[in-house]
Amino acid sequence: MSIKDRILYEDNHLIVINKRPGELVQGDETGDITLADMVKEYLKVTYSKPGNVYLGIPHRLDRPTSGIVVYAKTEKALIRLNDAFRGSDVKKTYWAVVDNCPRESEGTLVHYIVRDPRNNTSRAYPKEVKGSKIAKLSYRVLGKSDRYFLLEIDLHTGRHHQIRAQLAAIGCHIKGDLKYGFARSNPDGGIHLHARRIRFIHPVRKEPLDIVAAPPKDPVWDYFAKNI
Question: Tell me: the pLDDT tens digits for 40-67?
Answer: 999 999 999 988 999 999 999 999 999 9
Q: What is the pLDDT of residue 83?
A: 95
Q: What is the DSSP letter of 24?
A: B
* Fold entry, domain 4-226: Pseudouridine synthase (3.30.2350)
Q: What is the mean pLDDT of residues 193-219?
A: 97
The answer to whether the beta carbons of residues 88 and 164 sit under 8 Å apart is no
Q: If phi over 0 gives left and psi between -120 and 50 gives alpha, with beta otherwise, what is residue 176?
A: left
- Check whether 12 has a pLDDT greater than 80: yes
One-letter amino acid at 119 equals N
Q: Which residues contact 227 (CB under 8 A, 6 or more apart)?
A: 143, 145
- Burial group, residue 225, by CB count within 10 angstroms (0-12, 13-18, 19+): middle
pLDDT of residue 87: 83
Residues labelled as active-site residues: 62
What residue spans define the domains of the chain?
4-226
pLDDT over 90 for what percent of the chain? 90
CA distances to 45, 123, 130, 163 from 127, rounded to whole Å, are 52, 12, 10, 17
